[in-house]
Structures are given as structure tokens and as C-alpha cells.
A and B are shown apart, each in its own frame.
Chain A
Amino acid sequence: MNSGFRITDATLDVLEVLLHEGGDIYGLKIAKAAGRPTGSVFPILAKLEDCGWVTSEWEAGDPAARGPRRRFYQLSPDGLVQARQLLTERRGGTVRSRPGLSPAPRPRWEGGR
């Protein structure tokens, strides 16, 4: 796969979080979910953004009114495909459970009488 950069374990962790975490996620949240130091995810996100796998946008709102804005990250359609393929390739499709990730769906008991 030609991504133009080296795909490390940390990169896979970040991709995994982006793939499975819904909603608006920003640097700190991604780092927590990936179990990595906050400073370390930004270079990875920058690289992913650079090659078009990830897009980012500012949090809505006026910075003058509510202070510095966060920046939300999400996978681009291209990145989504690539990340899925890469994770299946490198991690065999099994998602390692991490403290921040949403739990895997479990069978439930349903119905009553």
C-alpha cells in the first residue's frame, strides 16, 4: 500500500480510534482512546491529513467568545477504505480492546413472557 509514510503501531492505534469512535473527536480524546501520550498523536494526525486519509475542521463558535477552539478529526471516504483494509491486514480485523473504545456488541436477553 502506498501511503507515502511509515505505518507504525501508533498510526494503527489512531486509525482504529478514528474508525470506531463516532462523533466529534479531537486530539486529546483520540490520544486517550488510543492510550498514547497526547503530544504523540498530532504528528500522526498531521501525516494522515497530509496524505488525505483524514480531514479536520474547527469547532463551530466564535473564538473571541469562548476561547481557543478544538479541531475535530474524521476519516475521509478514501481514508475509511484504506484504514479498514490496513487494519484487517495488520491486525487481522480483530479490534484490540482499549479503555476508551466503545465496547463490542454483546448478545442480550430480550423479550419476556
Chain B
Amino acid sequence: MAGEWRRGGVVVFLITAVALPLLLTEFGDWCPWLAARLVRWAARHLGDPASCRRYEEEWIANLNEVPGKLARLVAAFGYLAYMPRMRRSVRHRAARSLSSALPAPLGLPPVPRAFVGRARELDALRKLLHAAAESTTDRQLIYVVGMAGIGKTALATFCAYQMKEAFPDGQLFLPAWDQAGLGSYLDELLMALGVPASRIPQGKPTRVPCSGHVFPAAASSWS
């Protein structure tokens, strides 16, 4: 009986005096590491690469000034908690800078005033565009075809207005009046998006991937 008690005492002693302090120290050392990981993760999921890089550095610098190990972890959770709001701010800024870089002719034309019917076509377009918005790899061209005057531009414009929220990077409109080819339009679009002419590589094969990089989720309509 007495031996069992003594053994129990030894176990309790080992737990409270050895294991628990060891665990606590370990946890304490682990806190700043986890805090930095959390903050970096939050910053990297904000939106455009430039903002991600900026806030990652800025936040880590701020986090490093928080005294204490546990306090740093608490602060990191604070950044995480406000991440959705931060994301909205960053996205909003990106969308604004894009739209301010665009000259007027490249915005969407005015929404067609009397647009009725075409529910089936609109539905089909919406489905295709949603699929394109969700996919990160596919760049999709959607063609609306039909005889002159049937309302292809009206349909595309109406749909673009309806789906504006799904494409926060912006919407561009290029009327394809002349047959100069896609290449010249790409140059125009890239420059309109703020890419300096000197950075637009000449020759089609390199220019196309470059444009894909600039507007990852932009919907373009050709009518």
C-alpha cells in the first residue's frame, strides 16, 4: 500500500516538476514560430502578389515588436480575424487602380436600356463565365455569334454588367470594327492596363502569355 502511494507520488512529481515545465517551455518557444507562420499565411492570401509581399513584410516587422511569446500568438490571431476585411480592402484597391488605369473607351459601354428576353442565352453565358471564374488555369474565349443587328453586343454587355461582381479585376470592352487582328488589340489592352510599351514583348507567342498574366479573370467579349 505504502509502496503504491510512493510510486504514485513519484509519477505526480515527474509530471509536475519535469514534464509540465518541459512542455510549457516547448510551447513558449513554439508560439513565435506559429505566430509568424499564421501572419505570413494571412498576408499571402490577400490578393495580388504586390500587396501580399508588402503586407507580409510589414506585418512580420510589426509582429516582431510584440513583446512576449504568447502575446505574439494572440496578436497573430488578431491579424487572422481581420483578414477578410483586409482582403476586401486590398481587392477594392486593385479594382480601383485597374479601372483608373483604363481610358474611357475601354470601360463597358452603357447598359442596353431596353433589354428583354434572352433568358436562355444569358443563363448559358453565365454558366460558362462562372466556370471560367472558378477555374484558375483555363483561359476561356466565349463567342456570341448571330446575324448583324440581332443583339450580340447588347447581350454581351448586359451579361457583363450582371456579372461584374464575379470579376473584380475589371471588365474591358473592345469593339472589333477593323480586322487588324488580335495582336494589335493585345498591345492596346496591355498599355491601357499600365504595362509600359517597352515591356510588351514583340511577336505573338510571347505576347499572349504576358496578357494572360495581366488579366487573370477578365471577361472579354468579341462581337
Taking beta carbons and an 8 Å cutoff, which residues of A are in contact with B?
Answer: 26-28, 37-40, 42-43, 46-47, 49-50, 59, 63, 67-71
Contact = CB atoms under 8 A, between A and B. Distances in A.
Contacts of B55: 42
11 contacts: A37-B82, A38-B75, A39-B80, A39-B83, A46-B86, A46-B90, A47-B89, A47-B92, A49-B93, A67-B64, A71-B57
B62 A28 contact: yes
B78 A39 contact: yes
Interface of B: 54-55, 57-62, 64-66, 75, 78-83, 85-86, 88-90, 92-93, 96
A43 B88 contact: yes
B83 to A, nearest CB: 8
Nearest to A42: B86
A63 B53 CA distance: 13
Contacts of B92: 47, 50
B85 A43 contact: yes
Nearest to A48: B89
Given A46-B89, A71-B58, 7 more contacts: A27-B62, A37-B78, A38-B62, A38-B79, A50-B89, A50-B96, A68-B64
B75 A50 contact: no
Nearest to A30: B62
Given A38-B75, A40-B82, A43-B82, A68 B61 contact: yes
Contacts of A46: 86, 89-90, 93
A46 B52 CA distance: 13
A52 B68 CA distance: 35
Nearest to B87: A43
Contacts of B86: 39, 42-43, 46
Nearest to B81: A39
A109 to B, nearest CB: 38
B57 A69 contact: yes
Which of B54, B60, B86, B89 gathers the greatest number of chain A CB atoms within 10 Å?
B89
Nearest to B42: A39
A59 B62 CA distance: 12
Nearest to B90: A46
B65 A28 contact: yes
Instruction: Report the 5 A-B pairs with minimum CB-CB distance, sorted nearest first.
Output: A39-B82, A39-B78, A46-B89, A68-B61, A39-B79
